[in-house]
Copies of this chain bind each other. A is one copy, B any other.
Amino acid sequence: MTTQVILLNGGSSSGKSGIVRCLQTLLPDPWLAFGIDSLVDALPAKLRGADGGIEFATDGGVRVGADFRTLEAAWMAGVAATARAGARVVVDDVFLGGAASQRRWWKALDGLEVLWVGVRCAASVAAEREIARGDRDQGMAASQADVVHEGVEYDLEVDTPHQESLACARIIATRLG
């Protein structure tokens, strides 16, 4: 069957965005790219750093509230509808809830052909990249590196410290239906 959605999960600074852009360049069909960053950009400013919304602590921790969960569920429904309407979609997310996050996506993407990809990156390497990026609170990369993969099931996994983004994208591309 034709893959309709590629869903990449990995911690902050694991290299997801680079892989997404390489996939968009590499794949002959046009794929739309959405992700947790595009959802955060769509939120009212007042939900960033506030009760009910999404809060980025200075130690790198991320907390989300009930309002965020409601909007996120509606956004997931929108991503699924975009794919059902015929666009091929690549999504990158950070499964802060591990398996529970995957269940939310399973529910939203019901009936769609999805390729689940784990983007692994050792905590120490992600932490170094976080410093090199300079635009994230330090600590987020290390704290998310392993927890986002707990109990999550994948079709394939890539390992960014050992493979450049384009190499990861090539591996993913070979697995597309």
CB within 8 Å of B: which of A25-43? 25, 30-34, 38, 41-43
Our pick among B25, B46, B128 for the contact of A45 (Cβ within 8 Å) is B25
Judge if A86 is at the interface, Cβ distance under 8 Å: yes
Main DSSP-derived SS at the A contact region = helix
Q: How many residues of A contact B (CB 8 A)?
A: 52
Q: Which of A75-83, A93-101, A139-147 contacts B (4 or more CB under 8 A)?
A: A75-83
Q: Which residues of B contact A166 (CB under 8 A)?
A: 128, 131-132
Assess A30 versus B18: contact at CB under 8 Å? Given A74-B86, A78-B78.
Answer: no
Residue pair B134, A21 in contact (C-beta under 8 Å):
yes
